[in-house]
Amino acid sequence: MHFESPWAFLLLTVIPLLLVLRKRTGKSGSIRFSSIHHAEKAGRSVRQRLSALPLLLRMLTIILLTVALARPQTGCEQIRDISKGIAIEMVVDRSGSMAAEMEYKGRKMNRLEVVKDIFKAFVMGDGKDLTGRPNDLIGMISFARYPDTICPLTLAHGALPPFLDSVKLVQTRAEDGTAIGDALALAAARLKTIEETLAQHREGEEESYKIKSKIIILLSDGENNSGKRDPIQAAELAEKWKIKVYTIAIGSGDAVASIRTAFGVYKVPMRQQVDTATLQSVAEKTGGLFRKADNAEALRTIYQEIDKLEKSEIESVRFIDYKESFLFFALAGLILISCEIILNVTLFRKIP
């Protein structure tokens, strides 16, 4: 319990003063009798036995009203966590060249499947080097000739695996291509929109989540050959909106893809030129990093590096919600003083 006005307890000094004053001036009137022998044999009456009760009630009243004046307050400590997370858009290439194989977990997998699995470990954690991103907004965009929003920015990371599973390599030549610029611009727009939406939602309400920073992880194994927007133009847009872009060039120039036909599975050599210069320029322009991953282990190491660079925070705000508790003491004091008054005019009434 907390007292807002503890100085009120100084009023308790009145009690000893009241006792001293009563002792000096509180002598009762008396009448002379020739003999009190028979009165002494009768014993003390109820009135005599309870004669100190009014004084006791008055003392208790003073104590209770003093406590009420001191404004007792009961407090409940509350802790509110404000998460300061990173808004992360994963932008992944799903063009035909991503069918090239990589060694991963003891077997051959295409680049897209490797990228999806490592990104999932980056977000959800793998119990080893990647701890997960529980406090971050995660979204995903895939692209070939056109960009598509696969998963909107969300804190519900449990919904991410089904979205990841839906990302497949292009199936027809008409949808094949590499629209890096359009995909990057779309990711930047998504991050800008979520920031504005959260800002509007916070107006007049308690804040529980803040976007500490916004980043895009752009992964491709090719060069921009589709779309309306140039990657550098898209990078300028990201820079304007204070979005960092981490670019990853995956795979080497020479690779092999497995092609299934009616006659079996054939290994087909693939040559794909990665535009590392543009990817590096995009990263440098936005304050991000450019990295090259020739294999799955290198890609995993890059995600570990990003995981260490971009840290979310949880800020705990502690406050105590006090409630006034003086009413109980005030009412109890009023009841006791009322009892004293009633007793003084009835049972303990003195007739001059």
- In the chain the domains, ranked by start, together with CATH numbers, are 88-316 (3.40.50.410)
| Residue 151 banded pLDDT, cuts 50, 70, 90 | very high
pTM: 0.66
pLDDT at 349: 73
| pLDDT exceeds cutoff 80 at 46 | no
pLDDT at 320: 67
The stretch 221-249 carries a mean pLDDT of 94
| Residue 124 banded pLDDT, cuts 50, 70, 90 | very high
Please state, in angstroms and rounded to a whole number, the distance separating the CA atoms of residues 125 and 122. Answer: 6
Closest by alpha carbon to 155, among 126, 127, 134?
Answer: 134
DSSP-assigned states of every residue in 274-320: --HHHHHHHHHHHT--EEEESSHHHHHHHHHHHHHHS--EEEEEEEE
pLDDT at 212: 87
Higher pLDDT, 264 or 52: 52
| Residue 16 banded pLDDT, cuts 50, 70, 90 | confident
